[in-house]
């Protein structure tokens, strides 16, 4: 029970259609298993509700909440909901992110609309969630924020908007950590590498007209550690550590969860 009596928001706690488990869902389940009350936020309420049902089956405490995090009004409502319900806000976990699904493309093909989409979903949402959570956390003089960026931020990646927004998340998290350290608030960012999630594998299979197994095999081959992608539980476990008191002297850190892929240069 490493998060006993804590309260948490997991933004993007549903998941994309496909096989297996997404990062957001696995994180919500992990936080609840460790004793937190979790607000499972998603613009797809049915998907957030599925996450809540999985948590409830194991005796955990969670509530689904519908919000489109491209809208500041929805973000404020989601942040306010947690202290209203459970008295305080200990953990903010920003998991929402899109690339291909947001229309992302290579430079010469990218549209203005796709850039706006990716900036709003990946970056603006995480900045505005912090804007509304920080005053509550400053008053408590404690809080942990975990942002989900991507290894794409620091390694080669074909599409423009995802890479740029995920890189910006790292800079923003560092600033957030530094400016709020005196209030006892920590902020850290995780860089997932090649993970076996519906968002990454099933979305690509559909976009590139390949089978799931083909996409999975190509991704597995690129991972140094056991030549196997990571899973959503690897991201969830890293987030659990960063959100828990075990990381109480860790802030402003960028943590790759990538099976060693970032070690390769050139
Ligand atoms: N899977 C990988 O290989 C991989 C690698 C690197 C980084 N990541 C990062 O992990 C995160 C996603 O992981 P996941 O597996 O949970 O993805 P997912 O797509 O399965 O889940 C994300 C959830 O966010 C929700 N969402 C999308 N736009 C929203 C909006 N505007 N408002 C509210 N909710 C919205 C979706 O409905 C979905 O349920 C992303 O930030 C992604 O960039 C994944």
CA–CA distance, 200 with 22 (Å, rounded to integer): 9
pLDDT computed for residue 102 by the predictor: 94
Phi, psi of 145 (to 5 degrees): -115, 130
CA–CA distance, 253 with 126 (Å, rounded to integer): 16
State the chain's mean pLDDT as an integer: 97
Orientation of helix 72-86 relative to helix 125-140, angle to 10°? 30
Contact 64, 56 (CB under 8 A): no
Contact 33, 216 (CB under 8 A): no
Q: Whose CA is nearest to atom 7 of ligand 1?
A: 150
Give counts: helices (H), strands (E), the chain: 9, 7
Average confidence (pLDDT) over 147-166 = 97
Which of 10, 16, 17, 23 maximizes ligand 1 atoms within 8 Å of its Cβ, making it the mutation to test the pocket?
23
Give the percent of the chain with pLDDT over 90.
Answer: 94
Can you name the residues that pair with 147 across neighbouring β-strands?
94, 189
CA–CA distance, 142 with 131 (Å, rounded to integer): 15
pLDDT computed for residue 29 by the predictor: 98
Is the pLDDT at 13 greater than 70, yes or no?
Answer: yes
pLDDT computed for residue 266 by the predictor: 63
**Residue 237 Cα to ligand 1 middle (Å):** 17
pLDDT one-digit tens code per residue, 117-127: 999 999 999 99
Is the pLDDT at 147 greater than 90, yes or no?
Answer: yes
Give the percent of the chain with pLDDT over 70.
Answer: 100
pLDDT computed for residue 225 by the predictor: 97
Q: For residue 70, which atom of ligand 1 is closest to its CA?
A: 31
Average confidence (pLDDT) over 142-156 = 97
Query: pTM for the complete prediction?
Result: 0.98
Per-residue pLDDT band for 262 (boundaries 50, 70, 90) equals confident
Which of 199, 203, 258 maximizes ligand 1 atoms within 8 Å of its Cβ, making it the mutation to test the pocket?
199
pLDDT one-digit tens code per residue, 70-117: 999 999 999 999 999 999 999 999 999 999 989 999 999 999 999 999
SS3 assignment, position 255: strand
Average confidence (pLDDT) over 155-179 = 97
Domains annotated on the chain, with CATH: 7-193+231-257 (3.40.50.720)
CA–CA distance, 148 with 92 (Å, rounded to integer): 11
pLDDT computed for residue 95 by the predictor: 98
Question: Using CA atoms in the order 218, 223, 155, 30, what is the torsion angle rounded to 10 degrees?
Answer: 110
């Amino acid at each position: 029970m490493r998060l006993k009596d804590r309260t948490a928001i997991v933004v993007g706690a549903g998941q994309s259609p496909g096989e297996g488990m997404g990062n957001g869902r696995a994180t919500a389940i992990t936080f609840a298993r460790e004793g937190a009350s979790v607000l499972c936020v998603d613009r797809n309420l049915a998907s957030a509700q599925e996450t809540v049902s999985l948590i409830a089956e194991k005796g955990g405490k969670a509530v689904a909440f519908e919000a489109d995090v491209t809208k500041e009004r929805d973000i404020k409502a989601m942040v306010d909901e947690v202290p209203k319900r459970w008295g305080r806000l200990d953990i903010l976990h920003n998991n929402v992110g899109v690339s291909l699904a947001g229309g992302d493309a290579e430079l010469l093909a990218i549209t203005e609309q796709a850039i706006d989409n990716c900036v709003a979903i990946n970056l603006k949402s995480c900045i505005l969630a912090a804007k509304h959570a920080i005053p509550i956390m400053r008053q408590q003089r404690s809080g942990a924020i975990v942002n989900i960026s991507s290894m794409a931020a620091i390694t080669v990646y074909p599409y423009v908007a995802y890479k740029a927004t995920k890189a910006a998340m790292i800079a923003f998290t560092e600033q957030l950590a530094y400016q709020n350290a005196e209030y006892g608030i920590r902020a850290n960012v995780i860089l997932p590498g090649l993970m076996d999630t519906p968002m990454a594998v099933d979305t690509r299979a559909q976009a590139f007209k390949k089978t799931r197994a083909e996409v999975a095999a190509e991704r597995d081959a690129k991972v140094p550690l056991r030549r196997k992608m990571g899973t959503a539980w690897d991201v969830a476990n890293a987030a659990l550590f960063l959100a828990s008191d075990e990381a109480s002297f860790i802030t402003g850190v960028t943590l790759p969860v990538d099976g060693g892929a970032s070690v390769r240069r050139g």
